[in-house]
Amino acid sequence: MLALGALVLVGAGVWAVVGLIGPGGYEKVPECAVAEGETLDELVPEAEAEVDDRIDGMEQEGREGEQCRWASGEDSAHTPSAVRVVMVRTGTEGGSAGEEAAAELLDGASQQQERTALSGLGDEAYSWYDAEVEPLGWGCVGARTANLYVETCYSSAADYGRTEPIPDADMVDGAKRLAREVLTAAEEGKG
């Protein structure tokens, strides 16, 4: 009898995850709250939300998007740092068309960069460093899971005057950690 009870619990847990995400993938774009966790606190101590907005003009394409940004406050005792997150849910019907559209967003965002394929992060993911963005550059990760595209980027100074960035690899590592936390929270239906 105990084994039967355990089977029912496992089955109920699986149903709950499928119910949040839906049979065709994500039914809505997550909110910025999915990024507000331990990793954000570590990357940007005393973070202040600067952007928490819907991305306009995507509805006619069957998409919805959310953009988020946090940065160190002017009075922060820590060196300046910031993170930004962009999330786009593609496809009104879900399924393979939504997945293909999310894959195109991932490819479009990362193909202009010297990108590195990542494993164990969504269905497919790449990391890159964008040195062209002033003043410090950004370490970024783009990931696709089902019909959801998520891009996380991290930038930090090694000095209070924002003249020297931390190493590129550290920025990319921060973006990877944040992407993992965002994707986990989105899958669990938080935000």
DSSP H helices in 44-141: 95-110
Please tell me the distance from the alpha carbon of residue 59 to that of residue 61, in angstroms, as a whole number. 5
For the beta carbon of residue 5, count every other beta carbon within 10 angstroms. Answer: 9
- The pTM of this model reads 0.83
Which residue is listed with tokens 């959310």?
66
Would the pLDDT of 4 be above 50?
no
pLDDT digits (tens, 9 = 90+) for 136-177: 899 999 999 999 999 999 999 998 888 889 999 999 999 999
Planar angle of CA 7, 191, 129, nearest 5 degrees: 105
Note the pLDDT of residue 162.
81
**Which tokens sit at 134?**
């002033």
Note the pLDDT of residue 159.
87
Instruction: Give residues with Cβ within 8 angstroms of 133, minimum separation 6.
Output: 155
